[in-house]
Amino acid sequence: MSAPHHEPRDTAENDGGSRRTPEFLGRLPLPERNFVADALRTETTGGVLLLLAAVLSLILANSGLSGAYEDVRNFTFGPHALHLDLTVAEWAKDGLLTVFFFVAGIELKRELVSGELREPRAAALPVVSALAGMVVPALVYVVCVAAGGGVMDGWAIPMATDIAFALGVLAVLGTGLPSALRAFLLTLAVVDDLGAILVIALFFSAGISLLPLAGAAAGLVLFWLLHRAGVRGWYIYVPLALTVWALMHASGVHATVAGVAMGLLLRCSRTEEEARTDAPSPAEHIEHLVRPLSAGLAVPLFALFAAGVPISGGALGDVFTQPETLGVVLGLLAGKTVGVFGGAWLTARFTKAELNKDLAWPDVFAVAALSGIGFTVSLLIAELAFEGDAMLTEESKAAVLAGSVLAAVLAGVVLKLRAKRYRTLCENEERDEDGDGVPDIYELGDPEYHLRMAAIHEAKAREHRRLAEVATGGGSTDDDGPARSD
């Protein structure tokens, strides 16, 4: 998910303003707030669909339909000559998730060009929090496996955050987050996506074939040249994208890397003409078109065929006793929470950043717990890490589900305790009493806003004075109020 650009605001201290302290989780600029709101509407809907797909997959895998479900999941189709005779589950993993990573690539490019990752000073706190939220879970896994004598291959499984799943949990809980907290969660997810991309490309690509890889690279160069030349038309780019994807798949590099690469090649900055006509950049336009496909179709279908693992009392018990699965559960539940929260607190302390006065550190803890919901990418890495070991793959997937559910419960408890405060903050962010389409909180420094509000209140005062005179004189109003009798 794309996170917005909101630099920490500077606050003058009591020494005449010579020293300035950055504010952590300050109010977003209005355009970025609107961007976040629009993006989250799609992702929240996709998150609910993702939850439903995960539940359906578990029902199918643990009912009388399990045989039919496995037959569909393992059904193979595709051209054998192109090494694309894949199962339905593999098409979902290597094909549909490429759409998800294409959107992730666009989001990352936007962050690097115009978002929070553009300015090192603004990026320091969320980036350090996200990095700590990846390193600590991996260390938790390594410690659990080293202590229990397990397999180290799954160290990257608990590193990821699933923003769509987290937003789906928020929708189910009926809990809204203030825009600053939503932006922080989105930034964590963007950096996590970057980490996942690097992990998949560096550690889960084996048997590299140079000729198809060179062909994929040439296709990416052609993609970039056409895009920079202003060539338009889906009939050009879709076949080219499919060709690049197929070559990347044949090269041995995970096919989703092709999606990320193409997303990064899109232009995020607007030309003078686009700025003058208020037109979106090509990346923004394509993201607007593809995001619903990613959130509403690609990711839920992947979950439908990836999350269906047999669940029984014994299997759940094994999740908390085997070193690999226990490492995944604790990595998601404790590692992500401690890593993100600890990274934020330590960075704020060393940079002397002050937390937004409207928020408290338990709010940061709640977001840190939400980041432990690592569903989509964690399931993908589980399949890649234990490829060839079907039993351990299924067990690690069950551990991802268990860890994500426990993280959601922990976050839900904290969020419910702060729900009243969040409602107040969200209402303040949405209030528009002068009806000009801009929330009042963004107009407090505008004299015209105060003049409009003065006129509104003066009109209300005149009306109340008139009603008071009518009530005192025993008359009646045109309203359907109670009649007064002598």
Q: What is the pLDDT of residues 258-285, one digit of tens each?
A: 999 999 999 988 888 888 888 888 888 8
Q: Which residues contact 312 (CB under 8 A, 6 or more apart)?
A: 62
Of the listed ranges 200-209, 221-230, 405-414, the least confidently predicted one is 200-209
- d(CA 451, CA 457) in angstroms, rounded, equals 10
Q: 160 or 7, which is more confident?
A: 160
* Percent of the chain topping pLDDT 70: 86
User: What is the mean predicted confidence (pLDDT) over 365-394?
Assistant: 88
The pair of structure tokens assigned to 369 is: 């717990």
Which single residue is written with the structure tokens 């690539």? Answer: 105
**Radius of gyration of the chain, Cα coordinates, nearest whole angstrom:** 26
pLDDT at 243: 95
pLDDT range class, residue 194, cuts 50, 70, 90 = confident
Which residues, in sequence order, are CB contacts of 482 under 8 Å at separation 6+? Answer: none
Phi-psi region of 42 (alpha: psi -120 to 50; beta: other; left: phi over 0): alpha
pLDDT in tens, 274-313: 888 888 888 888 988 998 888 888 989 998 998 888 876 6
**What is the tens place of the pLDDT at every residue in 465-474?**
888 988 887 5
Which pLDDT belongs to residue 42? 64
Distance CA 464, CA 460 (A): 6
Q: What is residue 93's three-state secondary structure?
A: helix
Q: Which CATH number fits domain 26-205+254-430: 3.40.190.10, 1.20.1530.10, 1.10.3470.10, 3.40.50.10440?
A: 1.20.1530.10
Question: Can you give the pLDDT at residue 441?
Answer: 77
Query: Residue 7: which pLDDT band, with cuts at 50, 70 and 90?
Result: very low
Residue 434 reports pLDDT greater than 70: yes
CB neighbour list of residue 277: distance below 8 Å, 6 or more residues apart? none
> CB-based contacts of 289: which residues, under 8 Å, 6+ apart?
none
Q: If you average pLDDT over every residue of the chain, what do you get?
A: 83
Higher pLDDT, 159 or 444: 159
Please tell me the distance from the alpha carbon of residue 88 to that of residue 74, in angstroms, as a whole number: 6
Instruction: Report domain extents, the chain.
Output: 26-205+254-430, 447-473
* Model confidence pLDDT, tens digit, residues 114-169: 766 677 776 778 888 989 999 999 999 999 999 988 889 999 999 988 877 887 77
Q: Which of 14-23, 196-205, 215-224 has the lowest mean pLDDT?
A: 14-23
CA dist., res. 350 & res. 13, Å (int): 17
Nearest to 154 by CA among 339, 350, 364, 395: 395
The pLDDT tens digits for 17-45 are 444 566 666 666 666 666 666 665 666 77
Strands of 354-355's sheet, edge to edge? 10-12, 20-24, 354-355
CA atoms within 13 A on the CB side of 485: 0
pLDDT tops 60 at residue 477: no
What confidence score (pLDDT) does residue 33 get? 65
Which letter does DSSP use for residue 27 in this model? Answer: P
pLDDT of residue 476: 55
Give mean pLDDT, residues 336-350: 91
